[in-house]
Amino acid sequence: DVVLTQTPPTLSATIGQSVSISCRSSQSLLHSNGNTYLHWLLQRPGQSPQLLIYLVSRLESGVPNRFSGSGSGTDFTLKISGVEAEDLGVYYCVQGTHAPWTFGGGTKLELK
């Protein structure tokens, strides 16, 4: 199975600070069809996950553009350019290139 390793596991930030979360895969997530099925989710406390970024870098409708995704192959990054209070929660990367689909262990974003 593909293992997604997220770092750091916990991230402390102040409002307005820019932060990055890394997601490294145990194998390339480039599908034979040319797509890379790596997505980012945010789970706020007590809520269901919500999609932020899909296919590495595409911003989901309604998601603020302070969120951005980048990467290729096995290394991926989610960047938040100017953390806001509503961004607190646990961030997950998820891959859908290789069965079984797998999630990263999560990165908890806290206020410093």
Partner 1 sequence: EVQLVESGGGLVQPGRSLKLSCAASGFTFSNYYMAWVRQAPKKGLEWVATISTSGSRTYYPDSVKGRFTISRDNAKSSLYLQMNSLKSEDTATYYCARLWSFWGPGTMVTVSS
Per CB under 8 A, 7 contacts partner 1: no
Nearer to partner 1, 1 or 84 (CB): 1
Nearer to partner 1, 38 or 80 (CB): 38
Of 28-67, binders to partner 1 (CB under 8 A) are 39, 41, 43, 48-51, 54, 60
Tokens 């997950």 appear where?
Answer: 92
Per CB under 8 A, 12 contacts partner 1: no
Strand order in 18-25's β-sheet? 4-7, 18-25, 75-81, 67-72
Which residue from 86, 83, 85, 76 is spatially nearest to 24, judged by alpha carbons? 76
- CB-based contact 95:2 (threshold 8 Å): yes
Per CB under 8 A, 94 contacts partner 1: yes
Binding site for partner 1 (CB under 8 A): 1, 39, 41, 43, 48-51, 54, 60, 92, 94, 96, 99-106
